């Protein structure tokens, strides 16, 4: 892509690119929290990362979709819509998406109705690999030109190359 084509692509897909980049920051933060024993807080950000990457995916598939119409913090309807619009094979993530949505609700709102039927102690750091698989698989399926992919999202943030980053220095995330 030429410089002008990249700029035009960025203008045309600004909202989707921004959501993808924010989701990448949430994902990296979730990993840091879970790896350092802040399991509930990590699940909150993992849920947010996956919710935002799915909304970004939808915007890349259909620019004029109103992502605000989806019930907040529920991953399954977003997966269903990506499958409906794009035909992508994401069925295997539905159960884990429901789990993340529920753990989000339990962690953020311990007095929610869900807390009367589900224990907060079902949240575990052992499923970090599930979070990783779900996030990276969804992200890898988003139809983005390679020139844009390299400058937006998880890898660009970790390498300090993000077009949306205020910091051009190399960053390390633990």
Residue 2: burial class (beta carbons within 10 Å; 0-12, 13-18, 19+): exposed
What does pTM read for this prediction? Answer: 0.85
Rounded to 10 degrees, the C-alpha dihedral 99/108/49/26 comes to: -140
pLDDT at 72: 78
Buried b (16+ CB within 10 A) or exposed e, 27-51: bbbbbebbeeeebbbbbbbbbbbbb
**For 62-107, what is each residue's pLDDT tens digit?**
999 998 888 778 999 999 999 999 999 999 999 999 989 988 888 7
**pLDDT top residue among 172 and 95:** 95
Structure confidence at residue 149 as a pLDDT band (50, 70, 90):
confident
**Distance (Å, whole) CA 128 – CA 115:** 23
**Distance (Å, whole) CA 37 – CA 81:** 34
pLDDT at 91: 94
**Distance (Å, whole) CA 139 – CA 148:** 13
3-class SS string, the chain: CCHHHHHHHHHHCHHHHHHHHHHHHHHHHHHHHHHCCCHHHHHHHHHHHHHHHHHHHHHHHCCCCCHHHCCCCCCHHHHHHHHHHHCCCCHHHHHHHHHHHHHHHHHHCCCCHHHHCCCHHHCCHHHHHHHHHHHHHHHHHCCCCHHHHCCCCHHHHHCCCCCCCCCCCCCCCC
Q: Which domains does the chain have, with CATH numbers?
A: 3-158 (1.20.120.330)
**For 108-138, what is each residue's pLDDT tens digit?**
777 777 666 665 556 677 889 999 999 999 9
């Amino acid at each position: 892509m030429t410089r002008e084509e990249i700029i035009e692509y960025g203008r045309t897909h600004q909202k989707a690119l921004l959501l993808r980049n924010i989701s990448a920051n949430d994902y990296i933060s979730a990993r840091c929290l879970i790896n350092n024993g802040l399991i509930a807080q990590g699940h909150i950000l993992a849920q947010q990362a996956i919710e935002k990457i799915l909304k970004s995916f939808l915007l890349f598939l259909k620019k004029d979709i109103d992502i605000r119409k989806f019930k907040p913090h529920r991953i399954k309807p977003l997966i269903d819509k990506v499958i409906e619009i794009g035909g992508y094979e994401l069925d295997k993530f539905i159960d884990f998406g429901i789990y993340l949505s529920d753990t989000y609700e339990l962690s953020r709102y311990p007095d929610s109705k869900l807390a009367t039927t589900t224990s907060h102690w079902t949240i575990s750091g052992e499923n970090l690999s599930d979070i990783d698989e779900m996030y990276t698989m969804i992200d890898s399926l988003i139809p983005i030109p390679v020139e844009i992919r390299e400058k937006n999202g998880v890898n660009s943030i970790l390498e300090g190359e993000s077009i949306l980053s205020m910091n051009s220095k190399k960053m390390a995330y633990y």
